[in-house]
Amino acid sequence: MSIDSQLEALIRPLAKALSDVVFYPIEIFNQDFPLIVIWLAVASLWFTSYLRLINFRGFSHAIGILRGSHAGGSKKPGEISHFNALSTAISGTVGVSNIGGVAVAITIGGPGAAFWLFMAGFLAMATKFVECTLGVKYRRINADGSVSGGPMYYLERYFLDRNWPKIGKFLGCFYAAALVIGCLGIGNMFQSNQAYVQVLGITGGENSFFYGRGWLFGLLMAGTVALVILGGIRSIATTASRIVPFMAVLYMVSAVVIIAMSAEHLLSAIALIVKSAFTWTSAQGGMVGAIIIGFQRALFSNEAGIGSASIAHSAVMTDEPVTEGLVSLLEPFIDSMVICTLTSLVIVTTAIPNGLLDDGRGLEGIALTSAAFAHHVSWAPYVIAVAALLFAFSTTIAWSYYGLKGWTYLFGEGAMTQLLFKTIFCGFVAIGCMIQLSAVLDFSDAMVFLISIPNIIGLYLYGPEIKRDMQAYFSKYSKR
């Protein structure tokens, strides 16, 4: 057996056991609903209600902060601007799943899944607000001016302040260790592998220069990633602030064009989505199936409740934590409510009316979305491939920062310690293009969602404090 086959065989039982626990399903109206999705969904619903629709009330204020109003500035503590922090966090969530995962959701859950995906994105905004406010409030400013923040810090601080330091340190270390493992798999190897697949697709497949040369593409991508991440969060944020708007606009404009070319189906598509969202019986499981799949896809996409995005947001230059919590509202909005919804409309206005789901080709995932684009514009799949490539790269650099902060929490902020992690991270980028380690990816995926358990508990514990901070901020703002 090859080394990767031996590693796969070794990790597979452990990955399966962990996945079976983390994604354990319960049956609701004959539909399997993973408990972890319920855990995340209930939290988003609770905080939306508890904070009195902050996802809606704070939206315009968040736009104002991005435009330079209210708070922030180069003289405030922190390393990056509100816009750069948001771009970095979005680059970590917007990925291939926004293109392919939505198509899978509609294939499995029916058109109604698109409606519940949208609603789940709206509710997730409240969870993001809480965790990102906490990320800034309990961050640490290091001696060199750099910032370290995230769930490991606010979990530790909560119990430290209540004279239970060992519990806080344990939860912080558990979160950090799981984050490091997760970043090397789903935030690294999976992304580089998907980037390699997209490059093969747009350069000739089996006729591509890179066909059979995954090691070469892996080294090139690892080198590119290294050029960005060696410069720290400022370099990552600057790169993300340039890539994210470009890739988002590229994909959104392309999607709008395809939807416009199927304009005759638009109204009926919207009606079908709404009707399917509230239909009790259908081939896909009806309303319950649509809710389950829609919420699962949205929460897996925007990662609200996992806490990873708060690590990027904590680096912002501000002395008002609530301002960054408000800015973070825009992250699920862009990820789930805009980009995922546009993908949904492409599928429902083009793929479904033209029979692409049952034309015998067995299209699914990103292939189905690509086929829907190609139905009107033959070269559109190249745009999809470029967007997916950019999504994969931007996700990789964002997760390198998340993993780094988990690593430094465990092993210290020393320069050599950070360089060691970055070297390991880039090595895994190259490995992801050379071998298929599905067990490693499954294990890391489970670890990423496992950390939502202590994180959500922390958010509930901090809930009253965040509510007071929010009320105090808006009271102060209203007097200006």
* Bridge partner list, 148: 140
Local structure of 140: helix, strand or coil: strand
- pLDDT at residue 471, as a whole number: 94
Residue 55, in any domain of the structure: yes
Question: Of the candidates 262, 255, 327, 301, which has an alpha carbon nearest to the alpha carbon of residue 78?
Answer: 327
In-domain check, residue 352: yes
Query: Is 335 inside a domain boundary?
Result: yes
The total number of residues shown for the chain amounts to 480
| Helix, strand, coil share of the chain (percent; to 5) | 75, 5, 20
- Over residues 143-169, the pLDDT tens digits come to 888 899 999 999 999 999 999 999 999
Total Cβ atoms within 10 A of residue 265: 18
- What's the rounded Cα separation, in Å, for the pair 478 and 106? 43
pLDDT given at position 283:
44
Q: Is residue 11 part of a domain?
A: no
> Which two tokens mark 374?
């190609």
Number of domains making up the chain: 1
Q: 390 is written with which tokens?
A: 């950019």
Stated pTM of the model: 0.90
3-class SS at 176? helix
Is residue 93, in this structure, part of any structural domain at all?
yes
Report residues of the chain scoring pLDDT below 70.
Answer: 1-8, 29-30, 69-75, 280-286, 288-289, 358-364, 436-438, 440, 478-480
In a domain, 374, yes or no: yes
Which residues, 6+ apart, have CB-to-CB distance to 417 below 8 Å? 407, 408, 411
The answer as to whether 120 is a domain residue is yes
- 4 within domain boundaries: no
Backbone angles phi, psi at 164, to 5 degrees: -125, 60
Place of tokens 């892996």: 218
**Cβ contact 63:322 at 8 Å:** no
Kindly state the tokens that stand for 479. Answer: 């007097």
Q: What is the pLDDT of residue 11?
A: 74
What residues have CB less than 8 Å from 399, skipping those under 6 apart? 92, 183, 187, 188, 191, 308
- At position 54, the amino acid (one-letter code) is I
**Phi (first) and psi of residue 316, to 5 degrees:** -70, 150
| CATH number of 134's domain | 1.20.1740.10
Range of the domain at 34: 24-473
